[in-house]
Amino acid sequence: MNVLVAGGAGYIGSHTAKRLLESGHTPVIYDNASRGHKIVAGILNVPAVWADLKDRSVLLSALRDYRIDCVMHFAAYTAVGESVEQPLMYYRNNVATTISVLQAMAEAGVRRFVFSSTCATYGDPDQVPITENEKQAPVSPYGRSKLMVEQILKDQAVADPQFKFAALRYFNASGCASDGSLGEDHDPETHLIPVVLQAALGKRAGITVFGTDYPTPDGTNVRDYIHVDDLADAHIAAMGKLDDLGQIFCNLGTGNGFSVKQVIAAAEKVTGKTIPVTYGPRRAGDAITLYADPSRARELLGWQAQHTDPQSIIASAWNWFSRHPDGYARKG
């Protein structure tokens, strides 16, 4: 298929474009480069449109000129703290812009849509592992913006029975392309694994672990870390099932959680370096344990995560970070 990858210059979008290419599809990156990296289009040697999704004429031309069959949408802001500080920015970018995309798709006759959703739509779950039957009660503007889009997709499918979509709710995206070609480069960086590896490289003084008194085996938070290549493969699998299933809602995860201390220990094994750690108090709003029940994705999509331990995930990230200590800006 010809696939427009909205936000394709970002972390998950770029890795998905790569996997699409390797799977025999034709990806087209569409990104305004505000938080993505133009260099990835050159690395992948794929066409790219550098424009805002709200630019209706450019978006329509891209959909038509490249004869797009499906849109994969990764062009969202994703920082929970930032969403609390600037909720209107999040609702405008994550919700209003998505409406613009859906309107352009309808006008261009493109009726397949794969949406990058999030486990944040569940908020603080009653049960772990989290199934798709868990109540959706997000606790941040970020999570609420994603849930709003999910509802919009359901409403659009009622209005246009030919419109088919998948909403994939995933957990902590992590790791880098297995061949070292693509990586994770955010500014500022807040994700645990990159922060730990930056500390190993001496790019930051160390890391702070927030809370060591949680009711977990080692007292630190537990999360589900899923390799970015696995996420990309799930999006491709979902795209392939749209015509048969029509509407897809799936959690994407490994089915296991790893603690902050486990991640740090795995990073020290991979890098051979000691990570300087400072222990601080709990952060308000941090959940104790979050990980997915991915059985529905296995049943519906025929997909399951291939990277299931933190050491292999971190090794793929270290392969990239050790050669790109300053991200895409400069290769070390």
Spatial contact of 106 and 146, defined as CB atoms under 8 Å apart: no
Spatial contact of 242 and 70, defined as CB atoms under 8 Å apart: yes
In the set 11, 77, 142, 225, the catalytic residue is 142
91 is catalytic: no
Radius of gyration of the chain, Cα coordinates, nearest whole angstrom: 19
Report d(CA 168, CA 149) in Å as an integer: 12
The candidate with the shortest Cα–Cα distance to 315, out of 214, 197, 221, 170, is 197
Determine whether 243 is exposed, middle or buried from the number of CB atoms within 10 Å of its CB (0-12, 13-18, 19+): exposed
Report d(CA 42, CA 62) in Å as an integer: 18
Question: Phi and psi (nearest 5°) for 63?
Answer: -60, -40
Residues noted as catalytic: 142
